[in-house]
Amino acid sequence: MSDQGHLIQLQVIWSRLIAAVEEQARSLIRAGFSTSTREAGDVSAGVFNTRGEMIAQAVTGTPGHINSMARSVKHFLAEYPAATMREGDVYITNDPWKATGHLSDLSVVTPIFRAGRFVGLFACTTHVVDIGGNGPSPESRDVYGEGLFIPIMKVVDRGEMNESLLKMVRANVKEPVQVEGDIFALVACNDVGGQRLMKIMDEYGLEEIDTIGDEIFERSRKAMLDEIAKLPRGTWSNTMTIDGYEAPIELCAAVTVDETGVHIDMEGTSAASRFGINCPMCYTEAYASFGVKCLVAPHLPNNAATMACITVTAPEDCIANASFPRPVVARSTIGMFLPDLVFGCFEQALTDRVPAESTGTLWNIRLGMASEGGRKGFMVTTFHSGGAGARPALDGLSATPFPSGIRNVPVEVTESITPLVIWRKEFLKDSGGPGRQRGGLGQVMEIGNREEAPLTLYARYERVVNPARGRQGGQSGAPGRLTLGSGAKLKAKGLQVIPAGETVIIEMPGGGGYGRPEDRNAEAVAMDLRQGFISPEAAAEAYGKPGTGA
């Protein structure tokens, strides 16, 4: 085969591998039981060589899962070397420091064999609806209170499910059917990936994939370094203050660009918290590197080689590098702000390429009801978000999560599986930060209970005190707020009771604006007024265009 023919075949095989892992992820979503899996798509999937290096990832999924899962497979191989693996074995863990950052995520790894020879691995992750302990509340003082901790172990042994492990899981969670169903979905989706890999290998006469993987890595590394070479050389620093739990938190980063890659140093970041908002290093690396990838090479597929061009360091046991056994259930409180933190560094070096700050961490609604007097309790997580930051040439996306990319869960789904009723779900007027480009709007939801029983709210919200900042003269988005329908104010973090007959009102923050508000096009302001995105008062005060479009 000519060099040109080989190159074309290599590209085709790589595309086929990406299609295989995309089908793997879609299989997980279709087979999943919990809303976080089948509705929100809070999953990841990938194929790995025999050394545990990710060759290709599914487009479906979240950066926090994908990039941390990419590093996790080597931990599985350290615990179970390839020589000990057998066809039909499947492994599982939710170790926050070796997988994806908290106990609520289950990661499953399956070795793939061809004619008895170990040729690679498939891995996947999903967020389960419950893992026991204090549930999603960040009030535990160590990881032991946050739920069932599953070390790296077999969930399937030569084709036989580990019933002892499944019994342990069922005995520790409030939604045993959903959690066990998601475990089976994780195992099944890796099987789908393995079947597709066999077809690819049959079609192209491949006996192994390490050689193909190494060629993909070589070309990916070169392409990533070529993109980095287009950046200015230097070091730029940024800080961000977020609300925190017991005290405000300072996130600090210094980004250095040199001939070896992009290096992020988080020296100066606040110490670890007493509560479960700490972030293990695997999740910090995942989102900090995603911020770099968004700006530097968004078009390049993600794999071990492109990721290796980005390094992240943080002080030992700071809130972005929490040590075992710190509580970490709400690690997204820190991790999802890191792309904006990195963006603030690059803003000083790149002109008109860096968006304003976004809501950052998701505004998921986590509600539960106790079983009592024949009434069946429930636990549900429904995924929602505030607004994204404005871009240099476009308004921010409203009620759209960045950086997670998770889908909002339809209210009809939540109402169909629980006694909850969503009385209101609408854009929050005037919440997008004013600017030449307006920040994305947040949203407001009002939720009640059809049962005459109190609800438990597991709150872990940010941007209530420190809203998303604008860039280049753009103003901040509106902060978030939690209240009861009767008007009483709720805390942004911690377990709280919604009394029977009451509703909870959740106002989600908006994204920051970009550019000076007075430079916004008058027609755009008029359109915002007609659509109810801004009030006449905001048009006059923020944009200096009173009565526009009236």
Written as one string, the DSSP assignment of 69-106 is: HHHHHHHHHHHS-GGG--TT-EEEE--TTTTTSSTTEE
Average pLDDT, rounded, for the chain:
95
Q: How far, in Å, CA of 20 to CA of 59, rounded?
A: 11
What pLDDT is recorded for position 267?
98
Q: What is the mean pLDDT of residues 329-348?
A: 97
What pLDDT is recorded for position 60?
84
* Residue type present at position 330: A
Q: What is the mean pLDDT of residues 59-83?
A: 94
Structural contact between residues 126 and 42, judged by C-beta atoms closer than 8 angstroms? yes
Residue 489 has pLDDT above 70, yes or no: yes
Model pTM score: 0.95
Tell me the pLDDT tens digit for each residue of 120-136.
Answer: 999 999 999 999 998 88
Q: What is the mean pLDDT of residues 526-539?
A: 96
Residue 550 has pLDDT above 50, yes or no: no
Q: What is the mean pLDDT of residues 189-216?
A: 97
Q: How crowded is residue 133: how many other Cβ atoms within 10 Å of its Cβ?
A: 21
Residue 495 has pLDDT above 90, yes or no: yes
Residue 215 has pLDDT above 50, yes or no: yes
Distant-in-sequence, close-in-space partners of 16: CB < 8 Å, separation ≥ 6: 200
Tell me the pLDDT tens digit for each residue of 31-57.
Answer: 999 989 999 999 999 999 999 999 999
Residue 422 has pLDDT above 80, yes or no: yes
Residue ranges of the domains in the chain?
Answer: 3-220, 355-519
For residues 64 and 3, the model is more confident at: 64
Side-chain-facing half-sphere of 254: CA atoms under 13 Å: 10
Residue 18 has pLDDT above 50, yes or no: yes
Phi/psi region, residue 182 (left: phi>0; alpha: psi -120 to 50; beta: rest), is: alpha
Tell me the pLDDT tens digit for each residue of 400-419.
Answer: 999 998 888 899 999 999 99
What pLDDT is recorded for position 92?
98
Q: What is the mean pLDDT of residues 264-275?
A: 98
Structural contact between residues 489 and 475, judged by C-beta atoms closer than 8 angstroms? no
Q: What is the DSSP letter of 516?
A: -
Residue 546 has pLDDT above 80, yes or no: no
What pLDDT is recorded for position 135?
81
CA–CA distances in Å: residue 313 to residues 28, 496, 531: 33, 36, 45
Structural contact between residues 235 and 255, judged by C-beta atoms closer than 8 angstroms? yes
Q: What is the mean pLDDT of residues 279-297?
A: 97
Residue 549 has pLDDT above 80, yes or no: no
Q: What is the mean pLDDT of residues 430-459?
A: 97
Structural contact between residues 143 and 103, judged by C-beta atoms closer than 8 angstroms? yes
Q: How confident is the model at residue 226 (pLDDT cuts 50, 70, 90)?
A: very high
Q: What is the mean pLDDT of residues 145-166?
A: 98
Tell me the pLDDT tens digit for each residue of 357-374.
Answer: 999 999 999 999 998 888
Residue 449 has pLDDT above 50, yes or no: yes
Q: How far, in Å, CA of 332 to CA of 342, rounded?
A: 16
What number of helices (H) and strands (E) belong to the chain?
Answer: 13, 19
What pLDDT is recorded for position 491?
96
